[in-house]
Structure 1
């Protein structure tokens, strides 16, 4: 029986630190410390946990921003043994309900645009969209992110959007992408396309490349940075993710 609720007490806060190390293999320097986590909670942030028979197996951390209607979702982590279940989506449902009950209407967070698992979760399963790309946002990192620049895109999750509600409770079928043009062939980008809808293909498993072939991972990072920054600056938005004979972002042009 999985229970989703706010984290309570110092013992559960300490478990959040443990989970950061277990989920991402982070060094102590990259883990949000106990005292700062408590400060987030005290100042109106969310630290929610997923509990399996009393043991915390996942968490979500959201912190206030300068805009009282916006929360920054700093981390979402689920133990490897519970990935592929609905625990992560349930944590995000809890976060959405928690925020709306407090007048917060948008949640934003950063993620690595080359990691297809994250892209699929954020865009396809949650209904977030991406308009911003930030090269090497956090500098050099440890654990599963070591060795490549920490490029990140910003996911925007508009909590009152009907499509967000549909995605997290009754997901629609994937978009049919046959006939749509693709920006890249591997590392080679075409930067002058003007179709209303375009695709960008990700590597099969960027995380595996980071761990086992850093040179290849760095080539993908540079190519992805070039393609995505170019098209985002042209007014395209990453609106969906499709797994059909590969991993593809769906980019739609939106008028400024």
Structure 2
């Protein structure tokens, strides 16, 4: 078994004359919560897009559980259990909360793309759907329409639909963006709970979330790794403080 769940070696992406990601060597330990942070324009979203094959790398390699997946398609990546939440996942607003999760669970019946399937045929998924909703704190809202949920609870439902795929590696793209404080605290508790037994790589601007959750933090600047370590280590790094906040304290929700 590979020492790390996910590795990139010299990963590079150029768009014409502009290099958005340059020679990034990243190693994400199995069953860790690893954050990717940096100022706007640092290359974080491009890096995620390379991992999920939205973009093809200009150079370098991507390894998952020791296997080179650089040339694999996005569908092949998903079949391996690498799932990106929030930016790609979405809910069906005019379906119930429970039915959103049942649709995500359909792959267990081999009918994941058959949206015309009779709802009666999906009843066998009710227990599993309710278990997932209970795990994320949405069981009492099972019959509500997804459109009627608050913003934070819609994000929570998106996590539930993602967890229905049972991904061993979960990529979270700005999971608390735009949330009120209460919703941020709820999502932090949820991420900590769902991290048990799986690996999480997250892009996040809220430094209180990063500080509370993450084992390792990688700081990007202009597409390159500026620093890496624990929150305490990177927050004391003068280069990080200068790049991230113009020399101020690394904290709060800035970014």
TM-score bracket for the superposition, by shorter chain length: under 0.3
Indicate the structure with greater strand content. 1
Greater relative contact order, per chain length (Cα 8 Å cut-off, separation 6+): 2
Q: TM-score, normalised by structure 2?
A: 0.27
